[in-house]
Structure 1
């Protein structure tokens, strides 16, 4: 399984606006600047409804992608989700097929730049497209942040011009143009009937396909639980409004026959109501927006396409060279492969027709993505822990599967055959290469377990490693649990059973369980191989229905304690392993995800350089606790004379004026460690451990300066 070390991971440097920009930039290009006229030829004035319905029909895929991206934020998007849910064979189809479809569409977008630039300067279209591909390759290699910085600029330019176009268009249609003329433009509304409308929905559906491209860069997104779903929703809302409003303006302004044969309908419509601008400024604005749209699609397309060979190489479904990370912490060989493929398509193929057919394959991927969510949910893998869950499950996913199939059918036999051809090519690669290199199964095997069949346990191991990389959620009480944890600092030689007894005695003072029952649960879990041991640290743990709060015991021992355990990452079985650190954790049964996230956070701290050296040299119990606390989540305050903090001396805890998110978790008074209560009174010389969110701690630091 692809458990990544630090050198293999991509930098997490993309925020909410980056997600919005990548998603929005990937949607605006041919769907707005080229397709409306062609779509109007199929649906008439009802083309605006086709765009609206297409935006609604992509919701299941968006929700499913958001859930999978927050559970498994890995480069590769659709490929990674399909591989881990439905298995390597389907993952190969999803990965290679989406890569080919994406590079075709991106190449077509770059060709569109040359076409729109021809309004002012006659340049060889393919030469311009190849040159821009090379430029975007260089930008992507330098870094995702640099890539999305360009994406931000392009999207801001695009949205500004389109907002201006929409406002001016509405003014022209509703104020300047006679009402009777507007009505005549909209009649007959459905000249080709409902069937024509449905076929057009499938035709324009590709306009929204870029919405889910952000899933392929999920590994590089900060706080993916919030930023990915919110960014996608904002992007879809803005894009749908501009699509529907813009197409309405084109329909209301342009002669129907002219619109149906116009490949630049936005520019033509703009000329009708930008006449008040001097010269060709109106046309220049629209061409600028079109160029920004095609450039943003090309840039975002290359960014996301390159993550597919990266992810597949990590899983040995492609040669290892595609999984290498370059000096800028970006997948240089994968970017070169994606860009090179685009250049070949630009030079050799007539990309327009193929790019449109590729949307049929994209619909099939969306259908499989909806199936993947069902499989993941029903497999009930404990470490499948999405930060965002799709609403209306499973109705939403079933609706998405059915509508994807129907839209493919409405697109005709050519689209169906093209999709089938890509599937055959991908299956041939699976049979020739992947099957001999991969020994892995998807989450569907865990579903089979529920039906009395087998499962693939290594998948849970990989998901747990992803949880460790994702870290805690804002509501997880990790700091509180560590701050109030018991500490056992042991001298001499001790058996594992003795240590468990002593830890259980401590926990029994807070849990409604006897020490004997707690001991039994810990020993049972260890005997079943459920106690992970890594880097010389053992983590005995269990969940119980008899508590609402997690509790922890930290143990440091002078002499090694022999623990029968497994290494959770290598899955190697050892009869006994000597450890000097044990961290016992008991959590509520009702929140298994939180339990696993706390364990993953502990494992992450243990993985840090020099952890054991710092642990063994810590002077006291509180220092041990602080080693486990996240640096940005706690601060130490000393009530010393002559400092602003001394004003707190003599005050009860309940009377302190602390920032809202701050909590005094521990008071150290001489050699005593006190867990404070509301009535606890602070004294001069006390040392406080304060925990809280980083902004609140910053506020407290500023008060104490």
Structure 2
């Protein structure tokens, strides 16, 4: 999925094409500054969503994060809040589309918006979806037109009298004081809510640890530039009284400085851009909003019929409920009320998402493993919570009361309907584990499952740990002897007393041993101040039952020891081992392996690992007698171990390569492929 296209496309609609005039009527010419500060104030929530999305990439977005961190009560509020916020934003977008259509065709705005809602609702019911390619095209078109629009507007300013502009347009700057300015920030906050929309599709993003935060940051920069400069142009070119009443300020302003284009092409371009933006937001909004009742139904928070799927894969009941609610809002509320309510709910959600990050961090759940961590924790989150609450309070009594009513209704609904149907607690119970033994093990298990799906990170030392592992092949002795040999081997490598290490491995299967597949046991411990992660592979001479490990007949035992200082890396290595061993053919390959090299290679990802026999090919003969530092392997390839006459050594720069050396090299896919072509 294209994170930048999703985030940017979701932002450019009503917030820019419709809202500026309404916002300016509350604060005057300082409205462009309100947009700038709103973009700054969304940073805490953006960082929090990026962290949560890389830790828990699951469909459902804000609802899933809040439910799994704060529990199902808050999850109900978060799910309903997300649903309402998306509905309000989509309704607002369709009002804007109706307003821009009215530029060419004199039609009443609200009825047009209602008809458009019905059309998009039907399209979603029959399964029509925008492809990622279309989304990219729409965003590219919007950005291109907006750049042209901004450049033309700034160029035309040079011909204006700046002193007259300052006197006529910027005096007074804060027309309605600090209260009006803060209220306006809350109102325009809805313009940036699309930024976090990517959370609902984080499960589909490739390389989420990098692409989610990067895409969101670039999207925020783009939106902030367009919003601030674009609204500033509106302030400069439009009379205040006209600006305050204008529902199509981009079109009105564009007519003034793009009048040099023939046949009203400038106005046509603006209307096309606006219509595309509103259509994209409205249609995608119905599609996204309908996911929340669907996800909540799967979690038993609302009746199961909301989770029903049609023959073409559409959550038809959720789409109908979403479309019907949007129509009610369009009929019952005016434009400004819809925008305020959307902003108030989104502010509430952002506050909860900031709380969610604090709870997940303080829960100390080891399997909580975000690929991106919010900077300046917890101050960024505290700042985001404080200003979200402040802006909600500044937005007026209607927004506050409506928000409180929805919270009350959600809580009552949970205790009336869902309390007996839900068996999970959320990470908040792990925070209280210091005072109570009551811990939600289900969440930890779910996070471990996510960790397994995400796999290893680029800098995880899995390959090097396996490559330098000790192998006990055809082991025939008792379990006590095995523990002694394993501890004696590991002690020099991880800087730990052998007796302590042996005692840790012997503590019992419930603590440190697990059966990953039939016939395979994984023994793992974490040692304070361990200098590295180390592994020992044991292939038993025949299927053996060790009473210390239960009554299962074992073919293989894997020992892993790591430092306590990097718990998540230890868990990622465990998760990847489990993924490899879970392969149905693992045990067959293990039993048929010819030697210890084959045993290691079974656990390694073949595309990032190669064994090179020095002197076996003409190219490899050229490195005989050379020191490792003088051999230039491509990229960041690393020589993990060298086996010489059956002895495994950890190489260094002065290690001299000799004929017959078996060199184990790990690296990136492209680099390993180059080594294979050159030397093997």
Normalising by the residue count of structure 1, what TM-score does the alignment of the two structures yield? 0.88
Give the equivalent residue in structure 2 for 1:343: 323
Give the equivalent residue in structure 2 for 1:543: 526
Q: How far has the Cα of 1:641 moved from its partner?
A: 5.8
Cα distance in 1 between the residues matched to 2:307 and 2:330: 30
Q: 2:119 aligns with which of 116, 131, 152?
A: 131
Q: 1:629 aligns with which of 604, 619, 643?
A: 604
| Local SS of the residue matching 1:584 | strand
Q: Establish whether residue 512 from structure 1 lines up as the match of residue 509 from structure 2.
A: no
Cα distance in 1 between the residues matched to 2:292 and 2:548: 40
Cα distance in 2 between the residues matched to 1:659 and 1:119: 61
Q: How far has the Cα of 1:196 moved from its partner?
A: 1.1
- Please say if residues 19 and 228 of structure 1, whose CA atoms lie closer than 8 Å, have aligned partners that are also in contact: yes
- Please say if residues 188 and 343 of structure 2, whose CA atoms lie closer than 8 Å, have aligned partners that are also in contact: no
Which has the higher mean CA deviation after the structures are superposed, 353-362 or 541-550? 353-362
- Please say if residues 13 and 274 of structure 2, whose CA atoms lie closer than 8 Å, have aligned partners that are also in contact: yes
Give the equivalent residue in structure 2 for 1:654: 629
Q: Establish whether residue 475 from structure 1 lines up as the match of residue 427 from structure 2.
A: no
Give the equivalent residue in structure 1 for 2:433: 449
Q: How far has the Cα of 1:118 moved from its partner?
A: 4.1
Cα distance in 2 between the residues matched to 1:327 and 1:664: 54
- Please say if residues 93 and 423 of structure 1, whose CA atoms lie closer than 8 Å, have aligned partners that are also in contact: yes
Q: Establish whether residue 584 from structure 1 lines up as the match of residue 568 from structure 2.
A: no
Cα distance in 2 between the residues matched to 1:80 and 1:298: 23
RMSD across aligned positions (CA): 2.8
Structure 2 vs 1, CA of residues 75 and 35 (structure 1 numbering), >3 Å: closer, same or farther? same
Give the equivalent residue in structure 2 for 1:361: 345
Q: Establish whether residue 221 from structure 1 lines up as the match of residue 196 from structure 2.
A: no
Count of residues in correspondence between the two structures: 669
- Please say if residues 78 and 369 of structure 1, whose CA atoms lie closer than 8 Å, have aligned partners that are also in contact: yes
Structure 2 vs 1, CA of residues 379 and 684 (structure 1 numbering), >3 Å: closer, same or farther? same
Q: How far has the Cα of 1:652 moved from its partner?
A: 3.6
Matches within 5 A, 1:557-636: 557=540, 558-562=542-546, 576-636=551-611
Give the equivalent residue in structure 2 for 1:405: 389
Cα distance in 2 between the residues matched to 1:247 and 1:208: 14
Cα distance in 1 between the residues matched to 2:637 and 2:309: 40
Unaligned stretches of 5+ residues in structure 1 = 1-13, 566-574
Cα distance in 1 between the residues matched to 2:128 and 2:620: 49
- Please say if residues 465 and 533 of structure 2, whose CA atoms lie closer than 8 Å, have aligned partners that are also in contact: yes
| Local SS of the residue matching 1:587 | strand
Give the equivalent residue in structure 1 for 2:375: 391
Cα distance in 2 between the residues matched to 1:315 and 1:349: 27
Give the equivalent residue in structure 2 for 1:179: 162
Q: How far has the Cα of 1:162 moved from its partner?
A: 0.8
Deviation per CA, 1:420-475: give whole Å up to 9, x if none: 33223423442343222211111111111223463222322222121111222222
Q: How far has the Cα of 1:662 moved from its partner?
A: 0.7
Deviation per CA, 1:273-306: give whole Å up to 9, x if none: 0011111211121112212322332354345435
| Local SS of the residue matching 1:176 | coil
Give the equivalent residue in structure 2 for 1:54: 38
Matches within 5 A, 1:200-211: 200-211=184-195
- Please say if residues 174 and 181 of structure 2, whose CA atoms lie closer than 8 Å, have aligned partners that are also in contact: yes
Cα distance in 2 between the residues matched to 1:69 and 1:346: 28
Give the equivalent residue in structure 1 for 2:361: 377
Deviation per CA, 1:340-374: give whole Å up to 9, x if none: 33432455541644454132122111111111112
Give the equivalent residue in structure 2 for 1:95: 79
Cα distance in 2 between the residues matched to 1:190 and 1:511: 64
Structure 2 vs 1, CA of residues 299 and 584 (structure 1 numbering), >3 Å: closer, same or farther? farther
Unaligned stretches of 5+ residues in structure 2 = none
Cα distance in 2 between the residues matched to 1:270 and 1:432: 54
Give the equivalent residue in structure 2 for 1:315: 299
Q: How far has the Cα of 1:121 moved from its partner?
A: 5.9
Cα distance in 2 between the residues matched to 1:32 and 1:534: 54
Give the equivalent residue in structure 1 for 2:9: 25
- Please say if residues 73 and 411 of structure 2, whose CA atoms lie closer than 8 Å, have aligned partners that are also in contact: yes
